[in-house]
Amino acid sequence: MRKSYLFAGLTVLFWATIPTAFKIALRHLDFIELLFVAILTTLIFLLAVLVIEGRVKEIFSFSRKQYTSSVILGFLNPFAYYLILLKAYSLLPAQIAQPLNFTWPIVLVFLSIPILKQKITSKNIIALLLSFIGVYFISSEGDPFNLKFAEPLGIFLAVGSSVIWALFWIFNVKDQRDEVSKLFLNFFFALVFLLPVYIIFSEKALFKPEGLFSGLYVGLFEMGITFVLWLKALRMATSTAKISNLIYLTPFFSLIFVHFILGELIHYTTIVGIILVVSGIILQEIKKKKMV
């Protein structure tokens, strides 16, 4: 159990650095270039994992239906999800973009109603209200009484990315293949989608050392190594619920890196907003435990 907490703690720590890493990387690369380097890095890392574990043959053993699923999942995440999210980060302060994106568990519940035929409850409504009030506070950038937002497009994209992630989560759960080989194919097809976008629209500055290294960091610690650590934590845990709950610490730890490395002045509305969003998510989790 101690190892599971160690791996989960490292996961939270690495993911907490990502908003800061995004902003640093976006100083040197445009959002398309950053995604290109990150996806390529993750793809190489996942291939290395499969080689070390002697499981490369798995990626050639799936049915046509399963490969089609990988195409769809790869389009949703990492292609569409990160394109939208990184564009949002290019427009917003890190302390705003990260918690807005963190609303995905609430979005997930409401998308599950039409897709998975789940019923809406009063707790769902209360959780949604808490989260949207939290979104409002976060978006206000320290001035909750001003109804005008500085970057409405960035706010729309950050929240919109949570919808893409929730859709990916729903469809991914239905796919029972091994996670690492499945993720490798997701990233492979995402690279296929991204390559023409990169060739046509990017500024192609990724060969600058600063841009290359920042992209490598994002690829390894947002998508690659951290994902494997998180899987190990869940597999070793005697209670996956206790381990999963640690993820709610991520946006709070993120603020430490954002403040001390990026130098952003953390608004009180950001902290209030994160508390409200996380409270809404926890309320949903309590409901799920009662249903089990």
Query: What value, to the nearest 5°, has the Cα angle with vertex 175 and ends 169 and 181?
Result: 95
**pLDDT category of residue 243 using cuts at 50, 70 and 90:** confident
pLDDT given for residue 116 in this prediction: 74
Helix residue ranges per DSSP H, the chain: 2-25, 31-52, 64-74, 81-91, 94-101, 104-115, 122-139, 152-174, 179-201, 209-218, 225-236, 240-245, 250-257, 268-291
Residue 123 has phi, psi (to 5 degrees) of -65, -35
pLDDT 10s digits, 259-279: 999 999 999 999 999 999 899
What pTM does this model have? 0.89
- Among 8-12, 103-107, 163-167, 255-259, name the one with the lowest average pLDDT: 103-107
**pLDDT category of residue 121 using cuts at 50, 70 and 90:** confident
Q: What are the boundaries of each domain within the chain?
A: 2-291
DSSP, res 208 = S
Is the pLDDT assigned to residue 207 strictly greater than 70?
no
**pLDDT category of residue 235 using cuts at 50, 70 and 90:** confident
**Which residues are CB-contacts of 153 (< 8 A; sequence separation ≥ 6)?**
91
Distance CA 251, CA 275 (A): 10
pLDDT 10s digits, 41-88: 999 999 999 999 999 999 999 999 999 999 999 999 999 999 999 999
> Does residue 187 contact residue 59 with C-beta atoms inside 8 Å?
no
Is the pLDDT assigned to residue 99 strictly greater than 80?
yes
Distance CA 134, CA 132 (A): 5
Going from the C-alpha of 89 to that of each of 159, 279, 280, the distances in angstroms are 12, 24, 23
pLDDT 10s digits, 140-162: 888 887 767 778 899 999 999 99
